[in-house]
């Protein structure tokens, strides 16, 4: 059996086109467009690539995309003051502080300082709490993108056993809560495995839907995958030869799974597309549009 490809690149482009159409309509109706500001602290090479992709996506969608660069040695008070100014700016509808931050900055302080109504990353405790109680406002973009992939491909989550490798707030925990929501793309039975979990392969071999988000190159092998499972690979790692790979051994997994995401071209493009949609949603809420 050869797995079918979950083409995140194609679906992401479709979502971006839909967002662009709605942005154009709102601009005609209101004379305003959604504004996303990304705050980049320091010169982390990977972060610069991610930020550039987000800026390009904003421009293509007709949004106002702004980048604020701060030096790597910036004081936390300066960064917090910058966020306060963005919170108060009516032209800024979405705020994204690119992670990771330098060691002198308390990530939690920064995340909590962002106005939850402009928190298009979905990391603020208020938004995390709304997701937990089944009333989501902004959901982290990667889990949201994964759900869109599942829905668009007609993959049934109701009653399915979903196993998630990794418990980060950005992916693992939020993905679990999203799959537990009532309705389309939810109603799953969810198991979350992490660094302290024992006999992880025993769980993964039970998974109807396996989501790997552990940051370990090609760690998940075919022997740990249930035949016919849907495999979602969130990882983005670089091999010694410079090529990219995920957390799943793709070649082996593709012979066992029913569906699989490629790396690159799977989850990554969806994350950017859903960031645009979250920003559009923030604009609608803040502007009453």
Catalytic: 55?
no
pLDDT bracket for residue 289 (50, 70, 90): confident
Phi, psi of 165 (to 5 degrees): -100, 110
pLDDT bracket for residue 1 (50, 70, 90): low
Q: 107 and 188, same structural domain?
A: no
Which of 7, 13, 18, 54 is catalytic? The answer is: 54
Which residues does 179 contact at the CB level (< 8 Å), separation at least 6?
A: 147, 157, 162, 185, 186, 188, 190, 209
More confident of the two residues 129 and 1: 129
Q: 218 and 145, same structural domain?
A: yes
Q: 180 and 145, same structural domain?
A: yes
- Indicate the helix (H) or strand (E) that contains 218: none
Q: 257 and 148, same structural domain?
A: yes
Q: 204 and 111, same structural domain?
A: no
CATH code of residue 172: 3.40.50.720
Residue 26 lies in a domain: no
Q: Measuring CA to CA, which residue among 114, 148, 146, 147 is closest to residue 128? A: 114
What is the domain extent for residue 54? 31-116
How far apart CA 86 and CA 70 sit, in angstroms, is 14
Which of 118, 119, 121, 173 is catalytic? The answer is: 121
pLDDT at 9 (0 to 100) = 96
- 158 has pLDDT over 90: yes
pLDDT at 65 (0 to 100) = 95
Catalytic: 182?
no
The predicted-structure confidence for 90-148, as pLDDT tens digits, reads as follows 999 999 999 999 999 999 999 999 999 999 999 999 999 999 999 999 999 999 999 99
pLDDT over 70 for what percent of the chain? 100
Q: 65 and 158, same structural domain?
A: no
Residue 171 lies in a domain: yes
Residue 8 lies in a domain: no
Which of 59, 78, 91, 98 is catalytic? The answer is: 98
- 199 has pLDDT over 70: yes
Q: Residue 179 to residues 30, 186, 199: CA-CA distances in angstroms?
A: 36, 4, 23
- 245 has pLDDT over 70: yes
Q: Are 48 and 17 in contact (CB under 8 A)?
A: no
For residues 162-187, average pLDDT: 97
CATH code of residue 61: 3.40.50.10860
- Return mean pLDDT, the chain: 96
Residue 128 lies in a domain: no
Residue 2 lies in a domain: no
pLDDT at 48 (0 to 100) = 85
pLDDT at 181 (0 to 100) = 97
The predicted-structure confidence for 202-211, as pLDDT tens digits, reads as follows 999 999 999 9
How far apart CA 182 and CA 284 sit, in angstroms, is 24
For residues 217-234, average pLDDT: 98
Structure tokens at 43: 């010169």
Catalytic: 54?
yes
The predicted-structure confidence for 249-288, as pLDDT tens digits, reads as follows 999 999 999 999 999 999 999 999 999 999 999 999 999 9
């Amino acid at each position: 059996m050869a797995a079918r490809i979950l083409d995140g690149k194609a679906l992401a482009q479709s979502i971006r086109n839909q967002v662009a159409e709605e942005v154009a309509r709102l601009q005609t109706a209101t004379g305003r467009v959604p504004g996303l500001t990304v705050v980049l602290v320091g010169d982390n090479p990977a972060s610069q690539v991610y930020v550039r992709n987000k800026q390009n996506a904003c421009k293509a969608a007709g949004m106002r995309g702004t980048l604020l660069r701060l030096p790597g040695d910036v004081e936390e008070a300066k960064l917090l003051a910058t966020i306060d100014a963005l919170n108060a700016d009516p032209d800024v509808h979405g705020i994204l502080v690119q992670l990771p931050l330098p060691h002198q900055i308390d990530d939690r302080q920064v995340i909590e300082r962002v106005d939850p109504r402009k928190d298009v990353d979905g990391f603020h405790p208020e938004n995390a709490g709304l997701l937990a109680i089944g009333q989501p406002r902004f959901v982290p973009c990667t889990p949201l993108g994964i759900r869109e992939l599942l829905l668009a491909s007609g993959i049934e989550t109701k009653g399915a056993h979903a196993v998630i490798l990794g418990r980060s707030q950005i992916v693992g925990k939020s993905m679990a809560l999203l799959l537990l929501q009532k309705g389309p793309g939810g109603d799953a039975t969810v198991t979350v495995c992490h660094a302290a979990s024992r006999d992880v392969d025993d769980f993964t071999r039970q998974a109807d839907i396996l989501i790997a988000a552990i940051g370990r190159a090609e760690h998940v092998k075919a022997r740990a995958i249930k035949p016919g499972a849907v495999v979602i690979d969130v990882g983005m790692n670089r091999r010694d030869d410079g090529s990219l790979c995920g957390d799943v051994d793709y070649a082996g997994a593709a012979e066992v799974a029913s569906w699989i995401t490629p790396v690159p071209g799977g989850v990554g493009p969806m994350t950017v597309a859903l960031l645009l949609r979250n920003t559009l949603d923030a604009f609608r809420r803040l502007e009453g549009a």
